[in-house]
Amino acid sequence: MPMLTNRRKEMAVAASLVAPFVLTFVVVFLYPTIRLVQLSFTNAPLIGSGEWVGFDNFIRLLSDRLFLTSLKNNGYFVLLTVVPTTAVALGFALMIRRLRGALQALALAIFFLPYILPVSVVTQIWTWMLDFQFGVLQPVIEFFTGKPVSVFKNPYWVMPTVAAVTIWWTNGFNVLLFIAGLRNISKDYYEAAQLDGATRRQLFTKVTWPLLWPVTALVLTLQLILQLKIFDQVYLLSSGGPFNSSYVLLLMVYREAFQLNHGGYASTIALVLFIIIAMLSVLQFQLLRAGGRR
């Protein structure tokens, strides 16, 4: 009998320990997820109830030009950011690793600092630097193109510029991951390779690159998922314009829900984004597990 009450007591203690997280999770995460699926099959406004419309929203999505444009722009933004930011971060990490002591800490702080800035601070600074009339970077642009460019009002410049700003802002995180990865590579490999007379280039291609690959794969997949969720920078820098050339999925969710009052349709778009990202995350998880076993 005492065994049983002990067991019951332990159960109660366990329940009280997990309760705060579980309750919050159910209310602000699980319930909204279920509501999202349910709403995506209705024509509900943002506030208030609507009617069940079956798969109408999903069918409408397929022929919605703005949705296809957004999807394409999300893809374009991923292309513009994921590999470039990974390459830049690896370069910076290799540079920082060469430095010693205080210089290393200083260089690391400089490359990491933008990452901890609020997004609106970042966008305000870059809006000013790229101001059509007074921006400090306009002479640079003029040097290459012959004339100043209003970058956030130009359909060709807008996405690459938002991508560049994003890389400046978030790159520090990737630099840190690469530095951690480089620290994990044992010095013995380098010493052995140097004894064999390996050049600097060979050290990189034969030792650093293959041993660093798990971290590189991690950075690439984390970035892929992160950059698909872009909203803040586009909203603050270009609001999706000009001519929808920087319109992305989350911006569409925001417009449909909060400006056009289409709660149901917005939920459908959000659900599609949700599924795309969830699938990529599962893929990433599998990939990392496979990488870890190797």
Token duo for residue 153: 């009002």
Q: Which of 73, 162, 238, 263 binds other proteins (CB under 8 A)?
A: 263
Q: Is there binding between residue 277 and other proteins (CB under 8 A)?
A: yes
DSSP string, 240-255: T-STTTT--HHHHHHI
Give residues 97-156 in contact with other proteins (rule: CB under 8 A).
98-99, 105-114, 116-121, 124-129, 131, 133-134, 136
Separation CA 218–CA 227 (nearest Å): 14
Q: Between residues 39 and 243, which has the closer beta carbon with respect to other proteins?
A: 39
Choose the stretch contacting other proteins; rule: CB under 8 A; options: 64-72, 140-148, 174-182, 240-248.
174-182
Q: Is there binding between residue 87 and other proteins (CB under 8 A)?
A: no
Q: Is there binding between residue 258 and other proteins (CB under 8 A)?
A: yes
Q: Is there binding between residue 232 and other proteins (CB under 8 A)?
A: yes
Separation CA 78–CA 76 (nearest Å): 5
Q: Which residues of 111-147 are buried (b: 16+ CB within 10 A; e: fewer)?
A: bbebbeeebeebbeebbeebbeeebebbeebeeeeee
Token duo for residue 106: 């200083």
Residues that bind other proteins (rule: CB under 8 A) add up to a total of: 89
Q: At its nearest, how many Å lie between other proteins and the CB of residue 166?
A: 13
Q: Is there binding between residue 285 and other proteins (CB under 8 A)?
A: yes
Q: Is there binding between residue 47 and other proteins (CB under 8 A)?
A: yes
Q: Is there binding between residue 39 and other proteins (CB under 8 A)?
A: yes
Residue with tokens 């999202």: 36
| CA contacts within 13 A on the Cβ side of 98 | 6
Q: At its nearest, how many Å lie between other proteins and the CB of residue 180?
A: 4
Separation CA 151–CA 132 (nearest Å): 8
Q: Is there binding between residue 163 and other proteins (CB under 8 A)?
A: no
